[in-house]
Each structure stands twice: as C-alpha cells, then as structure tokens.
Amino acid sequence: MGRKNGKERLNVLKKWNIDFPLFLKHQIEKGQNTLISVGKLLRMTNMFETLVQCKCGEVIGLVSEILKVMKEMYPDGICCSKCDPEQLKRLRKMGYPLVKFDHSALIGYILRSSEEKV
C-alpha cells in the first residue's frame, strides 16, 4: 500500500514538473500541515487539467484555456495570485470570468458558469 501511494505521489510530481522541496518549504512558510497539503495536491490532479508551480512554490490548478493565456502573460514562468495580486483582475478584463479557489494550500482557477454573473 505504501509503495503504491508513494509511486502515485512521484508520478504526480513528475507529470506536472512540481519542485517538491520548494512546494513543502512554501507550505511550511504559510504554516500549513505538509501532509494535508500533499493530499490537496493529489486531489487537485483530479480537479484540474493542468497544475503549474509559481517560483515561490505555490501550485496553481488551471484549465487548458487559461494556461495558454497565462503563459503569454508570464513568459518567464507563471506567477500565482499572491506574487501578482492583480492577476485575477487582469484575467477577468481579458474576458475570462474566473473563480478562484484558495484552499490555503493551493490555488485553482476555473471558468465561472455562464449562468453566474461576473
């Protein structure tokens, strides 16, 4: 059981190119429980099409459409909303009605449903 879980974690880190020591360091700096943070990271792999990591260590969950836009916004590496506080505002101005999920351990963006008002 332990080997299977360990392999699953390693596969997730490799697939999304997550710097695990940087991720853990960032979680510790935020006062987060690292085991819970790892669990949330694994859960996000099922919630989002793509995971990216900011240079600060924050992991961001994105849908593919937003990933493309963010790669253009940040040619030197995607930033999280904590490193770029205007991020969500700029994305909304560009026509992406996003909802931000901040699980304290991780950040995710999804497109707001068309029935919701922006």
* Residues in a beta bridge with 110: 99
Per-residue pLDDT of 101-112, as tens digits, reads 665 556 666 655
Residue 38 lies in a domain: yes
Residue 68 lies in a domain: yes
Query: CA 101, CA 107: separation in Å to the nearest integer?
Result: 6
Name the residue range of residue 79's domain: 2-111
Whether the predicted pLDDT of 116 surpasses 70: no
Query: CA 55, CA 78: separation in Å to the nearest integer?
Result: 8
Residue 63 lies in a domain: yes
Query: CA 37, CA 105: separation in Å to the nearest integer?
Result: 5
Contact (Cβ atoms closer than 8 angstroms) between residue 69 and residue 91: yes
Over residues 89-93, the mean pLDDT reads 86
pTM summary value: 0.77
**What's the confidence (pLDDT) of residue 97?**
74
Residue 117 lies in a domain: no
More confident residue, 64 or 57: 57
Per-residue pLDDT of 25-62, as tens digits, reads 999 998 988 888 888 888 888 888 889 999 999 998 88
Residue 116 lies in a domain: no
**What's the confidence (pLDDT) of residue 64?**
82
**Number of domains present in the structure of the chain:** 1
Query: CA 81, CA 60: separation in Å to the nearest integer?
Result: 9
